Structure 1
C-alpha cells in the first residue's frame, strides 16, 4: 500500500510538473517572439490573458466573484496540503546499526519499530504499544504510545520501558543514544452490568 501511494504520488508530481513546464515554456517562448501554435489560447505576443469583454462579462452577477475566490482558495489549500504531505517525513526507512567491525549494517526501520512494539507489548499492564521511528538513520528518535490498563502505575510503566525495552534496543543497535517521546494513555473500559 505504501509503495503504491509513493508511486502514485511521484506520477502525479511528474504530470503536474510536465504540464506546468509546458505551459510556462510556451508562455515564455511566445512572449519572446516565437510564433503561437494553432492550439494556443491567444494569438501572439501582445495578446492579453483576459480581454475587457472577458473581464467584465460577469461583473453584474453577484455569485461570480465569491465562487471564483472560493474555488481558488480550495485549490490553494489542496496544493498546500499536498506539499506538506510530500515534504513531511513520516517514518525512518532504515537505521544504521554498528556491527563492531568498523563497517555497519542497515536495519529496516519498520522491522525495528515492530520489534520495539512487540517488546513493549509484553510489559506488565501494557495493552497496546505503538512505535514510530523518526530522525536520521545514524541518530534515530522514537515516538512510543502506550495504552495502559487502569491498574498500572504510569511511572512504573515508563521506568520499565526506558530501562528495559529502550535500553536493550539502544545497546543491540550500538547507538550512543535513543531519544524517545512517550505518550501514555489509560484504556477506558465500558461499565458492564453484573446480574
Structure 2
C-alpha cells in the first residue's frame, strides 16, 4: 500500500470517529432525544444537556486498580507520539520537492530555469513501469538533489517473471524515457525486485444435497 493510500485510510478512520463522537455529543447537548421522543439505551453516552459526557461512575470505575493509572497515562502518550510521528513523516519527503531541467544559455554554462515536481516524475515512471510484463506493483521515489536526481524503484513481480528481461525493459523504458524527457545527461536508478508468492489454488468441496 502506498503512502498516499495509508494517509487517506488514516484520515478517513480518524474523521469517521470524530464525526460519530461529535454527532453523539451534539444530539445529547441539544436534547434531541427528548424532543423526538426517543429513548436511547441505558449505557448510551450523553442523552441530555444536563448529563456529563463521562459520569462519575465511569470516571472512577477502575481507579482503585493498580494497572489503571499506567494505562491511562501510556495510551494518550502513545497516541500523541504516533500522531507526531505521522505528522513529521508527511513533512519529511526524504528527497527533493522537484527536479530542475537543464536549459543551457551558452555552451558549457548550464542554466536551470524549469522545475518539475518530483511527484510528477514518480507518477510518470510508475505508470510506465506497471505496464511492463510480469509487474504486479510499483513504488517509485525520487531522491538526491534537484539538479542531480536519483530514482529508487521497487517492483513486485509475478511468480513466473523473467527477471533479466524485466531489468532490461525497465532500464531502456521508464528510466531512459524519464531521463530523455527531463533533458538530463544521466539519471541514476536503483531497482529492487521482489517476487510475489504464488497463490494456492483452493478447490471447493462440492456440496452433497
TM-score range, shorter chain: 0.5 to 0.7
Q: For 1:138, what is the secondary structure of its paired residue?
A: coil
Q: 1:142 aligns with which of 132, 136, 151?
A: 151
Shift of 1:116: 0.5
Q: For 1:106, what is the secondary structure of its paired residue?
A: strand
Query: Relative to structure 2, which stretch is displaced further, 174-183 or 113-122?
Result: 174-183
The question of 1:183 aligning with 2:183 is answered no
The question of 1:80 aligning with 2:73 is answered no
Mind listing any 5+ residue stretches in structure 2 that lack a counterpart? 12-59, 106-110, 204-209
Q: For 1:104, what is the secondary structure of its paired residue?
A: strand
Partner of 1:100: 104
Mind listing any 5+ residue stretches in structure 1 that lack a counterpart? 10-57
Partner of 1:165: 174
Contact 1:140 1:179 in 2 (8 A): no
Contact 2:179 2:185 in 1 (8 A): yes
TM-score under structure 2 length normalisation: 0.51
Contact 1:147 1:187 in 2 (8 A): no
Contact 1:154 1:184 in 2 (8 A): no
Shift of 1:186: 3.0
Partner of 2:35: none
Shift of 1:181: 4.3
The 5 A counterparts of 1:45-124 are: 62-63=64-65, 65-88=66-89, 89-90=92-93, 93-101=97-105, 102-124=111-133
TM-score under structure 1 length normalisation: 0.54
